[in-house]
Structure formats: C-alpha cells, structure tokens
Chains A and B, each alone.
Chain A
Amino acid sequence: MKNGKLNRRLFLRGAAGFTLALPVLPSLLEDEAEAAPTGVRRFVALGTPHGAVWPQNMYPAAPQGPETMTYGGHEIRRADLDMTANNGRSIISPVLSADSSLLTEQIRSKMNVLRGLDVTFYLAHHRGGHLGNYAENDGNGMDGQALTEHRPTIDQIMAWSDNFYPNLSTILERSLVIGRPGMSANWSNPGSQSGVVQNITPESNSLVLFNRIFVPDEDPMETRPLIVDRVIDDYHRLRQGNRRLSAEDRRRLDDHLDRLDELQRKLNVAVSCGDIPVPTVSSNEVQNQASPAFHLNATAQAQYWSLLNDVIVAAFICDTCRVASVLAGTYHSDYDGDWHQEIAHQAELPMWPFPNTPLPDNMGPGPQAYTVQHHQRFFEDVFLDLVSKLDQVPDGDGTLLDRTLVQWTQESGSRTHDPIELPVVTAGSGDEWFRTGQYVDYRNLNSPAHTADQDNAVDSHTGLVYNQWLGTVCTAMGLEKSEYESGQYGGYGELILSTEGWYSGQGKYPSSVLDVMGEELPYLES
C-alpha cells in the first residue's frame, strides 16, 4: 500500500458510523496518471424522477471553439468540461455545482456530461427507461405502438454476464437494487435467460443491504455440511416426480432451482470482509426518526443516501458486488407541497405561481427554482457523495472510481414528459475505458424539438439515440454485443419510430442516426 492511502479499516470505520466523511488525499491525485486497466469493472446507475431541468441550468455554458465532427449525419461537439470556483463552490452548471471540497478538480477530470441523447418515441412517466426497459412506463403508444414486452435492464445483463463477472469467487450479490421499484428487471430465470421478465424489488434499508454484501468472520467450529444440497434435491424430487403439474409449474420450479444453484454458489464464497464493523444506524432509522420530517429535512436526506452509498462502496471494497442501481424519489428540495403537479409539471413556467411560498435562493425563477434545487442537492448529496468516496479508496494503481462507471440519468429531458435531451452525467472511467473530463453534445442543432419563447425557457433539439449510450455502457463494461443487442438496430433497448403527431421527436431520427446505433458513442472511448 502506498503511503497515505486509506486502508480498509480506516474506510470501514467510517462506514460503520452515521455518515462517511473521508479526507481528501492529495496522494491520490498523483496516482491518477499511474492508473492502468485491471480487468475489474464496476457499474452504478443513479436515476431520478421527472427531470425537466432547463438546459441552461443542467449543462455547462456553450464552450468556445469546441472540437466538432460530423457523425450520424449531423455535427456533434465536444469540449473539456469547464468548471469555475466561487465562494467555496465549484460550478460546472447551476445543477452541477457543489462544495469545492467535494467537487474537486480531480473529480471534474473524471466526469463526463453528455447532452443530446433521446428516446425516439413518447415516453412520459417511466422507471425502467434509465437502463433500457422502456416498457416499464405509465402508458405509451397512442399511435398503436405501445410497448408491452419488458426486457432485462443492462445492470442485470452485466450481473449475469461471464464477461463482466469472469470470476464469481468473491461475489455475494451480483447486483444491488436500491430505492424505488421499477428501475431494474431481469428474467425469472436469469441463468438461462428464460421465463418472464420481472421487476426486481429494491431494498432501501442500508443495514439489510449491508448484510447482503458482508461476510462475517467465520466460526472455526462451523463445519457442518450445508443443507442447500438437500434443498435442491427436494425441488428436483418434486420437479421430476410423477405427480401432476402444469408446464408453467415446472417452469417455476426450474426458475427456483436455478436460484438455488446461485444460492449454493454464494454460500461457498470465500472472501474476507471480517474487519468491517457492522453499521449501527440504518437509512430507515434516519428516515423514520428525522425531525423535521424527512421530506423537508435536507440533512436527514443526505445522511440517508450517504448510508446507502456506504454500502455500495463497502461492497466494492470487499469485492462482493460490482453492480448497483439506485432509483431515487422526489425529495431533495425544501418544497412542502405537491411536487408532481406544482413543480415537476410546471417546470417550464418562467414565474412562480405560489407567492406565499418562498423560492430557494439563487436558483432561478418559478417552479424551475425548486427543480434546480432538487437536482443540485441530488448531485451533491448523492452523486458526488458516492463518487468522492469511491475516489478515496485505492484500487490497484488507481482508485475504485477509476474502475467504476457511475451514471446519473433523469426520467425526462429538459421538459417533463419528454424524452428528448436526456441528461447523462458520469464519473469514473470504467477501468480506463472512458475518456473523461468532457462535455459532449450530440444534438443536431438543425433539428429543433422545442423552441424557447416567453412561456417556455426550453430550447431543445433531437440528437442521437439513448439506446446507443446503453450499448456503449455495455461494451465499456466488457460485454459482447451478442449479449445485449437484438433487432434491426444496435445499442440496447426497443426502438420505436413514433408517429404521434404531437410528439416533438416524431420523424426526426433519420437512417444516418439509426445506422450508427450499434457503434460506441464518439468521443468517449479513451
């Protein structure tokens, strides 16, 4: 271990406490140049509801003299991710701003901000779209192209890929699914990719999650053989018996047997996390005991997510899990009202319709002010909290963050109910696959979607397809295209060319855009 780096014990003492506050280690900055691929990749997907952050609040200012190229039939752009400092705050954009101790130059250099990625059909409220299961939505397809067939999400494809997990000897949980339901889905029989696609029930109690990835010290007296073999025999006994069962009964038994095989594998995992103190406080306790009430208590919300982030980091340190998905709710603001209607669905309004409720300072006018506050707090309290913790744990010649891709996506683009210009904010290079420190703009500036006017601050354009981003992530995480691609076009996720006349993306995805969907997005590969 290099001088000055944290060891597990130091980190995990923090993990056991209420919140994890790690000091910034200058030595890690020096290590960055030495980082080299290790073949171990990790992935964290963070999702938030609604979106509807105006572009000028979400993205960096238009760079001067960006590098450009023609791709997908239109001009795209990239520039170094610019950041300024003001009064102890580091600022990439109003949303992407934080205390300078968290949003450091090192973190900036490991981030990417992507703009101009769209879902090609109307997709309003959804949970599964972040990771490619667009059918997990509240209703689409008024043009007769409603999505009903659910598909596994990319985190689960990774979790069951031999290319992502070439060696499972330390893996207790193939993935952690955290927060609200609907973000992650997989086959009922993931091993054989058969059965039905079902949502994976998330867990939000950090202590419960911790116990899934934690291996306590072994009791040397524990030498009894496990009964799991006999449990498997019991299911085989029923499955292969001559008593009457339906074909679907047998399919469910096969699913269960596959799960038992996975349990058996996990019960034989040999890994040492024995020096990790078990946390004494859970996220649920923080939520339930918050005063003022949790939904109005920014401090408690930060503690809640910090405890959940600690579990992800602890899992990565122990190498008992390498994939996590997190779907957050609508907290993270001071607004004590009906967020869905009064904020999210009015986010385009340039003025504030509730004069008795004060607006947050320096966040802009109207409902957008709370939208910005909500997203800025998520960025600082959840995204950066996780990213900075990952970046302070050594891993090979770099840090855990260097082996990880953390992505933050939002339900909608810059207008609510609208999947155009879905923001993608990332950190980490995914084991040196990603070139980082960039602001990449894939929009086609000759293809307007929404046009700003006096009632609407959103000026948006169509660009490349979000499926291409998901495919790029899969490739970066070591998956073969045959593991995730299907259908006529590349990338990951269903492609529907909407014919709904009111939809601003209708008819704006030419073959030049669709034909490149199977490629890795330009500017991203290192």
Chain B
Amino acid sequence: MKLATTSFSRRLQGRRPWAVVLSPLAAALLAACTGIIGSEDGVPEGPDVPPSTPTDFSCDPDAVPEALPLRRLSDVQYRNTLRDLVTFALPAESEEVMTEIAFQTAQLVADVAANDGGDQRYAKFSRLDQTVQQAHIDTGYHTAEAVGAALTENPTRIATVVGDCATDADPGNDDACLDDFIRRFGERALRRAIDDEDVAFYREPAGTAPLEPADYADVIALLLNAPHFRYFVEHGQGGFAEDQVAPLDAYELASRLSYHFWQTMPDEALFAAARSGELLSDEGYQAQVQRIFNDPRTTASLEGFFGQWLQNSTLEPLDSRLGSPAFDTMRGSFTPTPTLREDMWQEVVDSAVYYTEQGGSFEDFFRSDRSFAKTPELAAIYGVEPWTSGEPPAMNDPARAGLITRAAYLATGSANTRPVMKGVFLRRAILCDPIPPPPPEAESVEIELPEDASTREYVDALTGTGSCGSCHIPLINPLGFATENFDALGRKRDVQVLIDPANGDVIGEAEVNTEVVPLVETTDSRTAANAVELADQMLESPKPYACFTRQYFRYTFGRLEDLDRDACALADVKHSLDAGAPLSEVLRTIALSDSFKQRSFDTP
C-alpha cells in the first residue's frame, strides 16, 4: 500500500508500524540541501559533484611552514608536567604533594576540543585550543604558589627538594645551596639550560641568607610561572639571527618529542641528550625518537590521538531507552549497561593501539577482523569471548568489515539504526570530505512511503527528494546504508524487524539492502554490495590515508594544516602510509620531518 504524497509532518500523523527515530543530525542534514554543494574553497559546484578532500600533498622545499606562535602547554601537558616535576623534586612524597595541591589544580581551565569548523561533532582535538585566558594566568599562578608551599612544607621536604645544605646549621651555605637548586630544578622546569643570569634572576625573591622555607617556596613558584614553563618558547639554533626558519636547539627538540609522544616533560635521558648535544645528530635524534616511541608513556598519547579522532560523540548512552517498548523488543534478552557506550569507544582505541604496538599497518587496523572487546557485554555483540591478553579473538564473521563495522559506529542507543549519522561520520571523520551546513525548512519534504518500509527506504524517501537529495544521495546515505545489516546495538541481522512503537509488537520484517554506490571518489561510480566492499573501496581511495595524515598533523602541531605551506610534513606521513609502513613507523615519521625539527618565525 502506498500512502498518499504528503508532507513529513502530515505523514507522522498516521500510524507508523515501526519505531521512527532519526538521528540528531538527520534533521539538520535534511535541511542541508539546497541543490548547492560547497567545494573545498567554498565556491558552489554543480549539484551532482560531491566535494572532495585534497589527497595529494606536493612538497615545495622552499615553502615556509606555518608555526603556532608561542604554543602553550595543553591542560593535560601542564598537569603531567607538574606531577613529573614534583616527582623529580620529592619522589617519595609526590602523591601526597599532588593531593595537597588538589584544590588549586581543580581550578585549572580544561581545554575545549576543536576541529576545522563546520560539523562540530567529529574529529576534534583538545590540543587545538590555544586560547590564553585570564583564568589560565590566575589558576597557574596560584597553583605555582601551592606547589612551592607544599614542596617546602617542612625541613625534611626542603632537605630533599633543595638539599641538606638548606636545612643544616650553617646559613653560610644557603646561597650556594639555592643556586644549585635553581640550576637543577630550573633546567627541568624551564626545559632549557640555566645560566648565571637565570640563577640571579630566579633567586631574587629569596633575598639573602639565612633563607627561610618561604624563600625557597617563592623561587619554586616563580619558576613555575616562567614563560619557559608555561609555553614552548622556541628561538631555534643560533637564536639571534633573523632567519624565517631555523632548526630547533637541542632542548627545544627534546620538548617537542616528549610533549608530542608523552604529553609531559623530557625524562633524564632526554635531558642528557639535549645537554650533551647528542640530540642534534641524526643518529642521536633517531635513537631518541625510537626510544621515546617504544616507551609505555607513548600509549597514552596514542590513545589521545585515536580517541579524539575516532570518537563517535553522537552515540547516546545505550541504556537510556531501557523500558521503551520498541527498544526492549529490539534488544531482546540483551540488556545494555551504562558503561557499554564507553566500552565501545575504548574498543576502537584499543584496536588502534594494538596494531601500532604489534607492527600493523593502517590497513591492518582498518580491516581488522579481531574483537578488542574486553567486557563480556561488548564481546557478546560480536559473538566472541572477551579479550584479556595476547592475540585478540577473531570475529569469524564475513560481514564484519573492520573499523567501519565496530559497534561504536553501528549502535545508536535507540531502537533504530541511523544511516544518516553513520554516513556523516564516515564522510567527515574518515574521508575528511566537507558537508555543507543545514538551511532551515527541512520538515516539509514531500514523500511517498510504503507501510512496510525499511529504515533505508524511509531515509531515502525522506532525504532523497527535492534539494535534499543533492547532498544525501551522493554524500551521506550510501555510506550509512552499507552497514544496515547490523542492528542498533551493532549485532548482525539478516532482516529488519518492524516493531510497533506503541507496544513493542513485532509486526513484520523488511528486507535489508546494503548495496550502495558510495562515491568514495567523485569519479568512482562502482557499486559496493556491503560494508566489506565499501571498506575495500575506501582503502583503494587515497582519502582515508590523506585524512589520517591531516588529523595526525593537527594533533601533532596543535593547529590546522595549510595545504601548501605544510605540504612537506603532510607528504612525509602520507608517503609512509601509502607505502604500507607499520603504524608505529607512520606515527614516528612526523617526528622525523623537517617541520617537526624546525621553527618558522615568519608572520603571514
């Protein structure tokens, strides 16, 4: 039976035989259709030509890369550095000190993750927040004071932090004692060599001997307020010249390496390599890159990159609709817990870290047929045992296509799948293709709809007509339809069960159709029969590799890429990906690029 042609609003007045729950973005994207599709440079193109992300980065060795001016430590980096400095100064009581300053650190300003604008839901990195606000200055000042007070709280701590000479009976050695402390602690805090002028400057608040605890506290607080502590101050080698670009000096390089891979200050070995100048030799530098990357501390940074890039932030809590008749019927005996959503997100991150650490390539990660589900609940969705250690269990399901069929990208938190949302995520976060913003008036769409329509048919009817179709048909819907053989919890299905939302009764079945023309490339009109073939087409395209490259660039440098001026660094990573290099090598490649090892002083 066909319903009469009607508006969306009128149609909803009729009884729907199955739960209709569109994604949050669906309406926005319904409204995104004006018949004009923006190109990369914002110039409207024809309605039949989807926009594409640049995939070829042509390195011009003479181009001067951009540079983030006076980059500040991120919130995470600032906290980690405080912790490591306290540990350096007072290793046996570092946890106590961090607890004692918890009041001040609770006031610190959290970074706000950002991306390149447009859709604000996906691929956002907190490192892109480079704002410096009054609260940064205020809270940092008070935190520094608190650290100074805590580290000098009693003579025992002072003796450990500054030296026995600070608490012995001889006030005559206090000055030398303090100077030595400034040289040791100052080098770690400021991440540069300390000269006599520095010692004279930073000891000034202490006054003259005999010195009191508050004198040492003030010196510590002053060091922790210093520009070299709060920012990555980079002068480059031969830091007095007027060159537009200069190679970083050894300490600056050490900081870039440690903060990129560890999110914190250099360790003693890295400081030693900087101090000796070993870091400036190719051999010494590469050895440190290898050592740093292999250190377990790199894992947290990798998790930060993959977690922020690949997080499906529109996935709702999976237990929020328990008790809803339609959702209860859909889930059957499976009862999602409040942590299942986080488990799904973590599985994606765990898979990325696993392939990085095991020598896998980007393609291995993308196509992986392994389950990284650590909980029985998530493992049950894949029909495998939980992963505890060692080799992850194989899913042994030919319908699973790797990354794009992980539960985090299939589940919705409602009774229905959300093809529009799935499509937007793949188009924006994995392919880096832009999608125009939504105009209003989305509700009044004329559609015809069979009563036993599948979600695919419903979404197609709703979005495929009028101006809406110019965006949804080529760009969005096909990428979501290809995984319609999975239900709203990410479980495989052969048919779509139609459910009456009023009472949860099963009232029929609809065919699942995963055949699509994904148009991964504008000129590629091949059909993909399912998610596996979609994944094949995606990996045959340069887009996912170029997209990975751009996202990793942003994470590394804390800014958006300039496709011309930054092409050399982008090309280095992309070439490594194109060559099928292990992810570990790809991720290290950025640190070997010239852009990473130098600083531009050019002002555009």
Q: Which residues of A contact B (CB under 8 A)?
A: 122, 124-125, 138-140, 142, 146, 174, 181, 188, 198-201, 203, 205, 207-208, 211-212, 224-225, 227-228, 230-231, 233-235, 237-238, 242-249, 251-253, 255-256, 259-260, 262-263, 266, 336-338, 340-342, 345-346, 348-351, 353-357, 415-418, 455-456, 500, 502-503
CA distance A340 to B413 in the complex (A): 14
CA distance A454 to B200 in the complex (A): 80
Q: Which residues of chain A have C-beta atoms less than 8 A from B557's C-beta?
A: none
CA distance A215 to B205 in the complex (A): 25
Instruction: List CB contacts (< 8 Å) of B494-524 with chain A.
Output: 501-504
Q: Identify B205's interface contact among A174, A230, A259, CB under 8 A.
A: A230
How many residues on the B side are at the interface (Cβ–Cβ under 8 A)? Answer: 87
A387 to chain B, nearest CB (A): 27
Binds A, one of B77-85, B103-111, B453-461: B103-111
Q: Which residue of A lies closest to B443 (CB)?
A: A348
CA distance A146 to B38 in the complex (A): 12
CA distance A455 to B137 in the complex (A): 53
Task: Judge whether A341 and B23 touch: CB under 8 Å.
Answer: yes
Task: Judge whether A142 and B205 touch: CB under 8 Å.
Answer: no
Q: Which residues of chain B have C-beta atoms less than 8 A from A181's C-beta?
A: 112
Q: Which residues of chain A have C-beta atoms less than 8 A from B210's C-beta?
A: none
11 contacts between A and B (CB under 8 A): A122-B439, A124-B28, A199-B131, A227-B225, A230-B222, A244-B242, A252-B70, A259-B132, A348-B9, A500-B439, A502-B441
Q: Which residues of chain A have C-beta atoms less than 8 A from B26's C-beta?
A: 341
Q: Which residues of chain A have C-beta atoms less than 8 A from B218's C-beta?
A: 224, 227
Given contact pairs A337-B321, A346-B443, a sample of 16 additional A-B residue pairs in the complex whose CB atoms are under 8 Å apart: A124-B438, A146-B42, A201-B129, A207-B106, A227-B222, A231-B226, A235-B227, A244-B239, A256-B227, A262-B137, A266-B138, A337-B414, A338-B24, A341-B25, A351-B12, A356-B501
B437 to chain A, nearest CB (A): 2
Does B326 belong to the interface (CB within 8 Å)? yes
A246 to chain B, nearest CB (A): 4
A348 to chain B, nearest CB (A): 6
Does B120 belong to the interface (CB within 8 Å)? yes
A252-B69 contact in complex given A227-B222, A338-B21, A455-B7, C-beta closer than 8 Å: yes
Task: Judge whether B225 and A139 touch: CB under 8 Å.
Answer: no
A415-B110 contact in complex given A142-B36, A227-B205, C-beta closer than 8 Å: no
Task: Judge whether B222 and A234 touch: CB under 8 Å.
Answer: yes
CA distance A481 to B186 in the complex (A): 49
A243-B239 contact in complex given A227-B222, A338-B414, C-beta closer than 8 Å: yes
Binds A, one of B347-355, B380-388, B473-481, B596-604: B596-604
Q: Identify B34's interface contact among A142, A252, A266, A354, CB under 8 A.
A: A142
Q: Which residue of B lies closest to A234 (CB)?
A: B226
Q: Which residue of B lies closest to A181 (CB)?
A: B112
Q: Identify B137's interface contact among A208, A230, A245, A259, CB under 8 A.
A: A259
Contact with A along B349-374 (1 / 0, CB 8 A): 00000000000000000000000000
Contact with A along B443-475 (1 / 0, CB 8 A): 110000000000000000000000000000000
CA distance A205 to B214 in the complex (A): 31
Q: Which residues of chain A have C-beta atoms less than 8 A from B111's C-beta?
A: 201
A33 to chain B, nearest CB (A): 40
Q: Identify B132's interface contact among A124, A243, A255, A354, CB under 8 A.
A: A255
Task: Judge whether A244 and B240 touch: CB under 8 Å.
Answer: yes
CA distance A408 to B326 in the complex (A): 38
Q: Which residue of B lies closest to A208 (CB)?
A: B107
Task: Judge whether B21 and A342 touch: CB under 8 Å.
Answer: yes
A256-B132 contact in complex given A122-B440, A263-B141, A351-B12, C-beta closer than 8 Å: yes
Task: Judge whether B69 and A246 touch: CB under 8 Å.
Answer: yes
Q: Which residues of chain B have C-beta atoms less than 8 A from A262's C-beta?
A: 134, 137
Task: Judge whether B20 and A353 touch: CB under 8 Å.
Answer: yes
Task: Judge whether A502 and B34 touch: CB under 8 Å.
Answer: yes
B72 to chain A, nearest CB (A): 8
Instruction: List CB contacts (< 8 Å) of B106-145 with chain A.
Output: 106-107, 109-112, 118-120, 129, 131-138, 141, 145
Does B325 belong to the interface (CB within 8 Å)? yes
Q: Which residues of chain B have C-beta atoms less than 8 A from A252's C-beta?
A: 69-70, 132, 231
Task: Judge whether A227 and B221 touch: CB under 8 Å.
Answer: yes
Does B273 belong to the interface (CB within 8 Å)? no
Task: Judge whether A188 and B137 touch: CB under 8 Å.
Answer: no
Does B31 belong to the interface (CB within 8 Å)? yes
Q: Which residues of chain A have C-beta atoms less than 8 A from B133's C-beta?
A: 198, 200-201, 259
Task: Judge whether A355 and B69 touch: CB under 8 Å.
Answer: no
Q: Which residues of chain A have C-beta atoms less than 8 A from B132's C-beta?
A: 188, 252, 255-256, 259
A234-B107 contact in complex given A199-B112, A353-B12, A502-B34, C-beta closer than 8 Å: no
Q: Which residues of chain B have C-beta atoms less than 8 A from A345's C-beta?
A: 27-28, 442-443
Does B165 belong to the interface (CB within 8 Å)? no
Task: Judge whether A356 and B324 touch: CB under 8 Å.
Answer: yes
Task: Judge whether B24 and A340 touch: CB under 8 Å.
Answer: yes
Does B582 belong to the interface (CB within 8 Å)? no
A351-B13 contact in complex given A124-B440, A245-B235, A502-B441, C-beta closer than 8 Å: yes
- Smallest CB-CB A-B distances: 4 pairs: A139-B437, A248-B69, A345-B27, A417-B440
Q: Which residue of B lies closest to A205 (CB)?
A: B106
Give the interface SS of chain B, mostly helix, strand, loop or mixed. loop
Q: Which residues of B contact A (CB under 8 A)?
A: 7, 9-10, 12-13, 16, 20-28, 31, 34, 36, 42, 67, 69-70, 106-107, 109-112, 118-120, 129, 131-138, 141, 145, 201, 204-205, 214, 218, 221-222, 225-228, 231, 233, 235-236, 239-243, 246, 316, 320-321, 324-326, 414, 436-444, 501-504, 600-603
CA distance A124 to B34 in the complex (A): 15
CA distance A144 to B522 in the complex (A): 24
Q: Which residues of chain B have C-beta atoms less than 8 A from A342's C-beta?
A: 21-22
CA distance A181 to B204 in the complex (A): 41
A487 to chain B, nearest CB (A): 23
Task: Judge whether A201 and B110 touch: CB under 8 Å.
Answer: yes
A341-B24 contact in complex given A234-B226, A248-B69, A253-B70, C-beta closer than 8 Å: yes
Task: Judge whether A336 and B503 touch: CB under 8 Å.
Answer: no
Q: Which residue of A lies closest to B501 (CB)?
A: A356
Q: Which residues of chain B have C-beta atoms less than 8 A from A238's C-beta?
A: 227-228, 233
A273 to chain B, nearest CB (A): 17
Q: Which residues of chain B have C-beta atoms less than 8 A from A349's C-beta?
A: 9, 12, 443
Q: Identify A418's interface contact among B67, B138, B241, B440, CB under 8 A.
A: B440
A400 to chain B, nearest CB (A): 24
Task: Judge whether A139 and B240 touch: CB under 8 Å.
Answer: no
Most chain A CB within a 10 A radius of its CB, from B21, B69, B241: B69
Task: Judge whether B69 and A234 touch: CB under 8 Å.
Answer: no
Q: Which residues of chain B have C-beta atoms less than 8 A from A503's C-beta?
A: 439-440
Q: Which residues of chain B have C-beta atoms less than 8 A from A353's C-beta?
A: 12, 16, 20
Q: Which residue of A lies closest to B69 (CB)?
A: A248
Q: Which residue of A lies closest to B233 (CB)?
A: A238
A246-B227 contact in complex given A124-B437, A124-B438, C-beta closer than 8 Å: no
Most chain B CB within a 10 A radius of its CB, from A253, A341, A350: A341
Q: Identify A356's interface contact among B107, B204, B325, CB under 8 A.
A: B325
Q: Identify A201's interface contact among B36, B131, B436, B439, CB under 8 A.
A: B131
Task: Judge whether B70 and A201 touch: CB under 8 Å.
Answer: no
Q: Which residue of A lies closest to B108 (CB)?
A: A208
Task: Judge whether A341 and B225 touch: CB under 8 Å.
Answer: no
Q: Which residues of chain B have C-beta atoms less than 8 A from A227's C-beta?
A: 145, 205, 218, 221-222, 225
Q: Identify B141's interface contact among A224, A231, A338, A341, CB under 8 A.
A: A231
Q: Identify A231's interface contact among B69, B222, B501, B602, CB under 8 A.
A: B222
Q: Which residue of B lies closest to A262 (CB)?
A: B134
Q: Which residue of B lies closest to A282 (CB)?
A: B106
CA distance A379 to B49 in the complex (A): 47
CA distance A449 to B408 in the complex (A): 42
Q: Which residues of chain A have C-beta atoms less than 8 A from B239's C-beta?
A: 243-244
Q: Which residues of chain A have C-beta atoms less than 8 A from B131's C-beta?
A: 188, 198-201
CA distance A176 to B123 in the complex (A): 29
CA distance A248 to B601 in the complex (A): 9
A246-B603 contact in complex given A234-B201, A252-B70, C-beta closer than 8 Å: yes
